[in-house]
Amino acid sequence: MSSKILDIRDLAVSYGHIEAVKGIDLSLNKGEITALVGANGAGKSTALLAISGLVKAGRGQVLLDGEDIVSLSPHRIVQSGIVQVAEGRAILTTLTISENLALGAYTRKDKAQVAVDLDWVYSLFPVLKQRAAGLAGNLSGGEQQMLAIGRALMAKPRVLLLDEPSMGLAPLMVQEIFRIVREINKTGLTVLLVEQNVRQALRIAQHGYVLETGKIVLQDTGANLLNNPKVVEAYLGG
């Protein structure tokens, strides 16, 4: 049995009087990939933004190794080890690739380890190394997603939050991104993966949660969810 690194309890988020996340319980086992899947508008991004402190939770707890971080600033949450790759790959297009990566590590004091992590990111994404001095804005969509993930890794996360990393990418690049998420996880990093690509996400995730209009309606192992008739019917075109 793995231990919980992140334990989310009764998390609710409203925009004005619309409750987008309606009191969800979700936990991440250390070292695992957990998938959070659901249709467009289900509240997946809102849940991630609340975990990152970028939107304020109306109620609930986000326990990182037992400590509630829900009221910390986004900056402190990153420092505590929860790092999100935003939906839509928010990289800085007018900076170079190496500058974007350096920004990921800017609060870190362990400079020797930063250099080691940079080598690791460049080995995960050789194209970023080849084009390190080039402008990030000249990368393709898939390469920009790689840069966004690489930049998050440079912050030395303990928990990596990925919001739709495969969105809008060509099929081969989608495969490549899922392969990389798996490879990153194999180093022991805990991942919360939000995806509309339900099949691919559940294939690589040990556990999964299904979110519908702000509520968790199913949770199980990734393999069981892939075979769950409700999931097949609603999300897998069965």
Closest approach of ligand ADP to the CB of residue 213, in Å? 8
| 165 sits near ligand ADP (criterion: CB under 6 A) | no
60 forms part of the interface with ligand ADP (CB under 6 A):
no
Segment interacting with Mg ion, rule: CB under 5 A, options 39-47, 61-69, 109-117, 119-127: 39-47
- Cα–Cα distance measured from residue 94 to residue 203, given in angstroms and rounded to the nearest whole number: 36
CB nearer Mg ion, residue 42 or residue 91: 42
- Cβ proximity to ligand ADP: between 20 and 121 the closer is 20
**Minimum CB–partner distance for residue 46 and ligand ADP (Å):** 3
Strands laid side by side in the 4-15 sheet: 18-29, 4-15, 59-64, 67-68
Q: Smallest distance from the beta carbon of 228 to ligand ADP, in angstroms?
A: 19
Measured from the CB atom, is 126 or 141 closer to Mg ion? 141
SS3 91: coil
Smallest gap, in angstroms, from Cβ of residue 214 to Mg ion? 13
Please name the amino acid found at residue 160.
Answer: L
Cβ distance to Mg ion smaller for residue 44 or 131: 44
3-state secondary structure at position 112: helix
Q: How far apart are the C-alpha atoms of 219 and 208, rounded to whole Å? A: 6
- DSSP strands (E only) in 149-214: 159-163, 190-195, 207-212
Residues 116 and 133: their CA atoms lie apart, in Å, by 19
Residue 97 in the binding site for ligand ADP (CB under 6 A): no
Report the DSSP pairing between strands 18-29 and 190-195: unpaired
Number of residues forming the site for Mg ion (CB under 5 A): 2
Closest CA to 147 of 102, 113, 106, 111: 102
Q: Which residues bind Mg ion (CB under 5 A)?
A: 44-45
Q: Which residues bind ligand ADP (CB under 6 A)?
A: 15, 18, 20, 38, 40-46
